[in-house]
A = this chain, B = another copy of it.
Amino acid sequence: MKLGTLKDGTRDGRLVVVSRDLTGAVAAGPIATLQQALEDWSAAAPQLEALYGELNAGTAAGTFAFDAARMHAPLPRAWQWLDASAFHSHGDLLEKVFGLEPPPEKRSVPLMYQGAGDDFLGGHDDMPLPSDADGMDFEGAVGVVVDRVPMGTAVSAAGQHIRLILLVNAASLRVIAGREAKTGFGFLQSKPATSFAPVAVTPDELGPDGWRDGRVRRPIQVYWNGREFGHPDCGQMGFSFDELIAHAASTRNLGAGTIIGSGTISNANYREVGSCCIAERRGIEMEDFGKPRTDYMKFGDRVRIEMLDAQGQSIFGAIDQRVVQARLP
């Protein structure tokens, strides 16, 4: 099924069920928010699935036209947001061109940082940022939402906690990231608000060819100011989401509604399929020309991130955002 959160003036919005073809939506009855559903998923999911069936059959009372611009992120805020860097071709390239020390055990221990979950952006919201000198970058990624994962959950048991899949724009400020990477304390000022496509989907919506071995098996599509920037396949993820969840839960419980991101999607043949962030293209340019030729985003730039199913239909609805100068207090 497909779920989203309608902006209704409250902080956490109103949970709605969205039709498979993204044309209609209906309020999720007594289940007010997606967080509420995730905290009691076994009770909520059958009710939501039943409503989804009615909605797709055209028999759900109260159906209204789906409008992506009226949608929050599926979780307008999350009690936990963790983002990995699970695509090896991306990490390997950036290490090489920036002369970085490879992280210890990089093929056996996932790289993952704790991100800010308190203030997400909807997929059609403007992205307010303070300065265009910070190296404003987009990052096309996928993510999963889990229910409560107990500390010490094994990789083999982790997948059963995956309830929803998300499409993500994990924006970065690359100039600040360079400094923060040297502190050992991780990324903080370099990670502004993260944005999400308007609809979250259960794994079955991707079909057996689109979701396998804890990985999304579809290409992502990233456009920058209307021009295609990359369309790498998500299936080349070096660690599965099962492995990422077990990594995150090794020394603590993960609360229901925790989101875990894949990190920038990247394929080994990035010269053919393109990239999902500007930093990677700049890395390729450094390899090819000795220095980057592509600048980071300017205010007014647009980013569009989408994923289509085998029939060419949008799965999550598009992320389609404009970067704007933040109005500071």
Which residues of A line the B interface, CB within 8 A?
11, 39, 77, 79-80, 82, 85, 100-101, 103-105, 109, 111-119, 128-130, 134, 150-154, 157, 173, 176, 179-193, 247-248, 250-255, 257-258, 326, 328-329
Contacts and interface: CB of A to CB of B under 8 A. Distances in A.
List 6 tightest A-B contacts by C-beta distance, closest first.
A186-B186, A152-B328, A118-B255, A79-B118, A181-B184, A80-B118
Contact of A151 (B152, B252, B328): B328
B114 A114 contact: yes
A104 B326 CA distance: 27
B193 A252 contact: yes
Copies per complex? 2
B111 A150 contact: no
A130 B116 contact: no
Contact of A187 (B151, B185, B193): B185
A136 B310 CA distance: 50
A188 B113 contact: yes
Given A79-B117, A80-B118, A251 B189 contact: yes
A75 B123 CA distance: 30
Nearest to A194: B252
A325 to B, nearest CB: 11
30 contacts: A11-B39, A77-B255, A79-B117, A79-B118, A80-B116, A82-B188, A101-B182, A103-B183, A103-B184, A103-B185, A113-B185, A113-B186, A113-B188, A114-B187, A117-B117, A119-B254, A119-B255, A128-B151, A134-B251, A150-B328, A151-B328, A152-B326, A173-B251, A176-B251, A181-B184, A188-B248, A189-B248, A192-B251, A193-B252, A193-B253
